[in-house]
């Protein structure tokens, strides 16, 4: 399920937008000030809807901190504001906002912008150029020869397991839903279900042995590989 972080200091607006987003099937995390936005981003949302005028930290300050953190810098952010004016819009976009909506918010327009920005993110993931080989802690992978070494010993991974592992290791710290992994590895040609990803992930973990915990399950969302500093 796609997760959205929604931050606005007006309770009526917050509840109104939350309701409309949940009706579309999104999981919504809410907050009412800039500090809560920074606290709750650790729940790894797929998209952030952020009010500008808020207590403690305004939206611009929150945006600067988000973009300065390598873990969250690529999350799309839609700014909400009651202020009209090109200056505010330009500032938001210069800070890295993906989109900008002025209050009062039309639910249909907001949902359209949310879907459009999520599609851009997914397209960016699909177009990502992966390296031919990589080293991640004790794991070494060569994509040309389809070989995996764990602590210097070769471990056999069937093609789909190999592709899932390689993709996750190439994107450490980033959460991928089962749907995104299905599209990345299987594409649109073969009909498979979410459970397929879970089965493959279990087999991958078995083969990683004592390093199985590198792959983390994000309950209700999907999977990620823990970053290695």
SS3 for the chain, per residue? CCEEEEECCCHHHHHHHHHHHHHCCCEEEEECCHHHHHHHHHHCCCEEEEECCCCCCCHHHHHHHHHHCCCCCCCCEEEEECCCCHHHHHHHHHCCCCEEEECCCCHHHHHHHHHHHHHHHHHHHHCCCCCCEEEECCEEEECCCCEEEECCEEECCCHHHHHHHHHHHCCCCCCEEHHHHHHHHCCCCCCCCHHHHHHHHHHHHHHHHHHHHHEEEECCCEEEECCCC
pLDDT in tens for each of the 229 residues of the chain? 789 999 999 999 999 999 999 999 999 999 999 999 999 998 889 999 999 988 888 889 999 998 888 888 888 899 988 766 556 667 777 777 888 888 888 999 999 989 888 877 665 555 556 778 899 999 999 988 889 999 999 999 988 899 999 999 988 888 888 888 888 887 754 556 667 889 999 999 999 999 999 999 988 788 999 876 5
Look at residue 103 in the predicted model and tell me its pLDDT: 86
Start and end residues for every CATH 3.40.50.2300 domain found in the chain: 3-126
Residues of the chain with CATH 1.10.10.10: 133-225
**Residue 147 confidence (pLDDT):** 93
Query: CA-CA distance, 190 to 35, in Å (whole number)?
Result: 44
Query: Which residues touch 111 (CB under 8 Å, ≥6 apart)?
Result: 20, 21, 24
Question: CATH code for 3-126?
Answer: 3.40.50.2300
Q: Tell me what pLDDT residue 87 has.
A: 63
Q: From CA 70, how far away is CA 85, in angstroms rounded?
A: 30
Class (C level, CATH) for 133-225: mainly alpha
Angle between helices 107-126 and 11-23 (to 10 degrees): 60
Contact between residue 48 and residue 5 where contact means Cβ atoms under 8 Å apart: yes
For residues 150 and 139, the answer to whether their CB atoms sit within 8 Å is: yes
> pTM (2 decimals)?
0.55
Supply the pLDDT for residue 101.
Answer: 86
């Amino acid at each position: 399920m796609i997760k959205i972080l929604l931050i606005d200091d007006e309770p009526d607006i917050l509840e109104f937008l939350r309701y409309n987003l949940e009706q579309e099937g999104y999981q919504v995390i809410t907050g009412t000030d800039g500090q809560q936005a920074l606290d709750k981003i650790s729940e790894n949302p797929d998209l952030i809807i952020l009010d500008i005028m808020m207590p403690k930290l305004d939206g611009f300050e929150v945006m600067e901190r988000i973009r300065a953190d390598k873990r969250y810098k690529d999350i799309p952010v839609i700014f909400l504001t009651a202020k009209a004016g090109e200056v505010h819009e330009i500032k938001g976009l210069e800070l890295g906002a993906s989109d900008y909506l002025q209050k009062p918010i039309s639910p249909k327009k907001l949902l359209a912008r949310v879907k459009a920005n999520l599609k851009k993110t997914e397209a960016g993931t699909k177009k990502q150029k992966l390296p031919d080989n990589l080293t991640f802690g004790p794991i070494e992978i060569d994509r040309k020869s389809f070989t995996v070494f764990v602590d210097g010993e070769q471990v056999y991974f069937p093609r789909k397991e190999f592709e899932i592992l390689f993709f996750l290791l190439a994107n450490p710290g980033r959460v991928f839903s089962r749907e995104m992994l299905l599209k990345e590895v299987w594409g649109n040609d073969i009909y498979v279900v979410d459970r397929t990803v879970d089965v493959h992930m279990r087999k991958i973990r078995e083969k990683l042995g004592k390093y199985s915990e590198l792959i983390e399950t994000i309950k209700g969302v999907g999977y990620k590989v823990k970053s290695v500093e």
